[in-house]
Structure 1
Amino acid sequence: MKKIIALMLLTLSLFASGKFLSPLPLPKTYFIDLDINRCDDYCLQSLLNNGEIFSFLAKAKESNDPDIQKEYKKYALLFHMSQKRSIGAYNILIALQKRLAPFGNSINKSLLAYFLKNGFDFDVTTKLFQNSDTLITYINETNTSYDLIIVPLPYAQKDIIARLQTNTPIFIPTIHRSMVESENENIFFGGPDYYTQLDTLLSFIDENLSIFYLDKSPLSKELTDFAILYASVNSKLYPIDEKIQNMKQILYENEDLNESSVLFNTPLVKTALALSQMTYYDIEPKIKISTQINYNPRLFSLTQPKDRENLYIAISFAPIQPTLEAYNALIDSNINYDWLGYACFAGIEALTNTQEGMKSDFQILDNQILYPIRILQTTKYRFIDQTLQENNLEF
């Protein structure tokens, strides 16, 4: 009897499905050109007209004619052919300062997953620089064969963007176009639109607004200034020192916070500290809001369910395709929460597809990648999308 049960369990396990789709690529078809004679665009069109599709596919890959390439892609898709770029490997340079070296790992994993999923040839080089000056000098003075240079800059260094002068396209995944002045048409931006996130959140506010922010953070202060300017209610500020461990001086018997609206322009750890101590001091704001600065699954381990009641977070992440998610999971990458990885995926998707004449899920306007704004509510165990309530999406 035990053998029968064991056999049944083994059989069931063979048909069990995992969380992710299989990352193994589908079989691809290759047509090898055995004819040494050259075939120009007129010749290729004749092959099409005569129905010699296999000969056409073997020779058409190198053509620059848009109509020929359109027909080639159509038949390549039909025969599940490899969709590698006809002009060779896509060469990318990741240029960053040494103190930001961990960012390079996140970017590399995201690019690897994307290119493997799409079957593109690629070559990614990471270079570390001692400081911003050496980084700028290298980019401006080195004649490279790179198709794209990715430069993850912290917000505090946004002013150096004006010093980047090169004809090679540059992608900055950390900063939004609206936060800088740039006339260089070769610089593209992939940062989240914090202003639109805040504007969306502020539309929920009908009570006095209390704002927690880091007094030494340029980004935190700029977002706070924006909220003060565009909020339709009175605002009260609570500057937070980055070394603070106890908020008793701010929270103890602070009746102004009860039934008010609270905006957290603070990083995750400080936000979690404020949320937990608000519960301790019996402070119950009417609503708590934040930009995607606090969009992180660690929020659930750093706080209790009571702390997170009525907390809403605006994000610019869109849902990831299951196959891409599977490739990322294989290399221990999760671009559902990692903005740097997500933005680099979006940037490569938009920029490469634009160059190849293919449709992209992401649009570029004024050199900025456009993202949707979604509002998530934090519940007991997860984030729930309130933007599409009929779908009740959970994260």
Structure 2
Amino acid sequence: MRKILTALLICSALFARSDKPSDIPPASEIYINLELTKCNDACLLDLVRDGLLHSFLARYEGSSNQEILQAFNALNGSYVNAGTESLTPSSSAEFKIAVIIPQDSIKSYAGVVSNAVIAYVVRQNAAIDVKFYNIGNEAPSAIDGALARARNENISYIIAPFTPVGAKYLNEVLDPAMTAFVPTLHISSVDSPQDNLIFGGIDYKGQVEKLLNFSNGQVAAFSDGSALGAALNRYADELSGGLAYENEIANGVTDLKSMLSGNSRLSGATVFLNVPLVKASMVSSQMRLYDVKFNALLSTQINYAPSIFKLMQPQDREKLYIANSISKTDGALDSNNEILGQNLNFNWVGYSASAGLDYIYATYLNRGAQRLFSESVEDSQIIYDTKVLKAGEYGFYEQ
């Protein structure tokens, strides 16, 4: 099994907060491939093009392909230039954390979580060896193998961006001596979770409840057929006392006349847009086209994105209310994430991963460390400060 150690993507001096050199040894990352099958050139190129660079580094075993070599050298060259003399872990690191990545299950979130971890460790100048275990999928054998590897390497703290399938199994087999954090799920996703399994996912039910403060009592909802969309519709139905109207907008559907035109159940209604932003903008614009006189439009975290100002017309945003659980983040941490190509202010998975690592680092690993996030953990769940925002002419503002 091949190990490829990479130093941090950014030289720690770039983020220095004083002129005095730090006595803390630099953090390092180890990318460990737990896949049983070899990743050939086509596979490696797909990983690079999909932005899954941590998986690329874990599965790279040499190649004569120039594009692959260029990518590998680009990722590793700066480390050598910065003075890295070997590809071995920092022997003086005080702490270890493992990040178990089921990239086939979580897709692009694999890179989001990895980058968030890297950015946080650099920001804190923490003496941590971060080991990324690429397990491909969430098969029990894959999860068992990663946990066994962590135990063998005396790692007690795990970040596991799993889906409900993987999290439920992790809950069954997690060693009581370990603490695992799942940034991708709310605690409600798993029945009877262990105390040492912490969750960082958005409380969508809580967001729906908060949004209903802007309802007039007549509630309708649109979903997209996804599991999340269905759950959001269900929450709206339960918490509002029953939906006056609901419908599903299937993929590929662009003409909503049959749903909107002359629909008396939408007249004067408060409408939940439990659909991605492109569909949300389509619904709002066609409601205007078919002269639907609604009371308000409501949406959860799924549509809290800067692209809303491009995709949705100002007149369609006038009565739109959006729930957001992301609070203002540390400036230096923001900068680190931006260099790595992501914006914590609009990426809840990256925000969750960062807040969870912050909690683990300052609560368990280095109790003298200053926390960068204000969120607390109650009953094994990160508690977010959910705010209701409007998308105005110049940005989001709180109600």
TM-score, reference length from structure 1: 0.72
Tell me which residue corresponds to 2:346: 337
CA-CA distance at 1:159 after TM superposition: 4.0
How many residue pairs match? The answer is 313
Q: Is the 8 A contact 2:105 2:163 kept in 1?
A: no
Q: Is the 8 A contact 1:206 1:233 kept in 2?
A: no
Identity over aligned pairs, percent: 29
* Residues 161/272 of structure 1: CA separation in 2 closer, same or farther (3 Å cut): farther
Tell me which residue corresponds to 1:9: none
Q: Is the 8 A contact 1:139 1:164 kept in 2?
A: no
* Distance in 1 of aligned mates of 2:286 and 2:170: 40
Q: Is the 8 A contact 2:106 2:163 kept in 1?
A: no
Choose 188-197 or 375-384, whichever is displaced more: 375-384
Tell me, yes or no, if structure 1 residue 229 matches structure 2 residue 221.
no
Tell me which residue corresponds to 2:143: 136
Instruction: Identify which of 203, 215, 218 aligns with 1:205.
Output: 215
What are the superposed Cα offsets for residues 310-331 of structure 1, whole Å, 9 maximum, x if unpaired?
1011111111122222222233
Tell me which residue corresponds to 1:118: 124
Tell me which residue corresponds to 2:68: none
* Residues 127/243 of structure 1: CA separation in 2 closer, same or farther (3 Å cut): farther
CA-CA distance at 1:87 after TM superposition: 6.5
* Distance in 2 of aligned mates of 1:139 and 1:29: 36
* Distance in 1 of aligned mates of 2:98 and 2:166: 22
Tell me which residue corresponds to 1:375: 388
Q: Which amino acid aligns with 2:161?
A: P
CA-CA distance at 1:278 after TM superposition: 1.4
State how 1:170-181 maps to structure 2 within 5 Å: 170-181=180-191
Tell me which residue corresponds to 1:186: 196
Instruction: Identify which of 152, 159, 183 aligns with 2:161.
Output: 152
State how 1:99-114 maps to structure 2 within 5 Å: 99-114=105-120
Tell me which residue corresponds to 1:243: 252
Tell me, yes or no, if structure 1 residue 196 matches structure 2 residue 203.
no
Q: Which amino acid aligns with 1:127?
A: Y
CA-CA distance at 1:140 after TM superposition: 4.5
What are the superposed Cα offsets for residues 364-385 of structure 1, whole Å, 9 maximum, x if unpaired?
1111111101111012342112
* Residues 326/140 of structure 1: CA separation in 2 closer, same or farther (3 Å cut): closer
Q: Is the 8 A contact 1:155 1:174 kept in 2?
A: no
TM-score, reference length from structure 2: 0.71
Q: CA RMSD in A?
A: 2.7
Tell me which residue corresponds to 1:322: 331
Three-state SS of the structure 2 residue aligned to 1:256 is: coil
Tell me, yes or no, if structure 1 residue 357 matches structure 2 residue 367.
yes
Structure 2: 5+ residue stretches without partners: 1-13, 25-91
CA-CA distance at 1:24 after TM superposition: 4.2
Instruction: Identify which of 7, 19, 23 aligns with 1:27.
Output: 19
Three-state SS of the structure 2 residue aligned to 1:212 is: strand
Q: Which amino acid aligns with 1:343?
A: S
* Distance in 2 of aligned mates of 1:156 and 1:270: 28
Structure 1: 5+ residue stretches without partners: 1-21, 33-85, 387-395
* Distance in 2 of aligned mates of 1:156 and 1:242: 25
Structure label with greater radius of gyration: 1
